[in-house]
Amino acid sequence: MVVLSTEALGAIYGSRPVLTNVSLPPCHGGEIVALIGANAAGKSTLLRRIAGILPGAGHCRLAGVDDRETAIAYMPQDQVSGAALTVFEAVLLARKQTSGWRLADADLHEVEQALAALQIADLGSEYVSELSGGQRQLVALAQCVVRAPTVLLLDEPTSALDLHRQFDVMRHVRSLAKEKGLLVIIAVHDLNLAMKFADKIAILAHGTLHAFGPVTQVLTPANLEAAFRVKSRLETCSQGQLHLIVDDAV
């Protein structure tokens, strides 16, 4: 099983430190870890540091994988560009970058499956540039899934999706985690979505790790006030589920 932890991760843009000394405790395959925090708290930067595409201080340790490079799939926050690529081509690109001229049936099959799983198989021949923001986000997610990773890093994958699609995508991500043993680290702004689907939550504030642990232990009014400067409360609804209610900004 894959185990990921970080040791004093840091990053600097220009002369401005944006991530300082972030040490995530071990996160295991099969778990969904939600990264939450205010704007510019360092969520995207932390994901980029873990993905290995941003240099900086500290280490990211990954145990239980053979090849680190192929083990991690990262979905950036920016959406797939308006290049003249069809959805099928864009997803195939993520699957296959360096080898052979001919395409193996297995590669095409994997792309088909990834598109079908996200319910965008009918968009295969459409140009990415002609899709809506939400559809592009699903294409971006398919690009990650098709690489068959063991660690999935998602930067706000549901920000452009409607409510129904948000739940569809999160359920799919959860099934990937549970059935295939993937470790999913996901940056989200919707705290109720994080609460519903995540196993653990990491709260980032001002580029540092403010809190980390199981949802009910970390998602407290005190932590949320420190991270988001809001007055909030957690209440159990008539169906017995915990919901976060934000009353006011501090």
Partner 1 sequence: MTEITTAISPANAAARYRLASLRKYLVLCLLLAAALLVLLADIATGPAWYGLDDVLKTVLMPVDAQPQMRVVIWSIRMPSALMAVVVGMALATAGVQMQTVLNNPLASPFTLGISSAASFGAALALAFGLSFIPVAGEYIVAVNAFIMALGSALVIHSVGLRRGSSVQTIVLLGIALVFSFNTALAIVQYFANDQAVAAIVFWTMGSLTKATWPKLAVTLAVLVLTIPVFVYRRWQLTALRLGEARAASFGIPVRRLRLETLVLISLLSSIPVAFVGTIGFVGLVAPHIARMLVGEDQRHLLPASALIGALIMSSSSTAAKVLVPGAVLPIGVITAVIGLPIFFYLILKGGRETW
H helices present in the chain, as ranges: 43-51, 68-71, 87-95, 105-117, 133-145, 163-180, 191-197, 215-218, 221-228
Binding mask 51-80 for partner 1 (x = CB under 8 A): x-x---------------xx--xxxx-x-x
- The residue (of 102 and 237) whose beta carbon lies closer to partner 1 is 102
4, containing H or E segment: strand 3-7
Q: Is 132 in the site for partner 1 (CB under 8 A)?
A: no
Q: Is 193 in the site for partner 1 (CB under 8 A)?
A: no
Work out the widest C-alpha separation in the chain, in whole angstroms: 59
CB 132 within 8 A of CB 67: no
- The residue (of 71 and 211) whose beta carbon lies closer to partner 1 is 71
Q: Is 148 in the site for partner 1 (CB under 8 A)?
A: no
CB 10 within 8 A of CB 58: yes
CA-based torsion, 50, 42, 74, 84: positive or negative: negative
Q: Is 233 in the site for partner 1 (CB under 8 A)?
A: no
Per CB under 8 A, residues contacting partner 1 are 13-14, 48, 51, 53, 69-70, 73-76, 78, 80-86, 88-90, 92-94, 96-98, 101, 105, 108-109, 111-113, 115-119, 121-122, 124-125, 127, 129-130, 140, 143, 147, 168-169, 171-172, 175
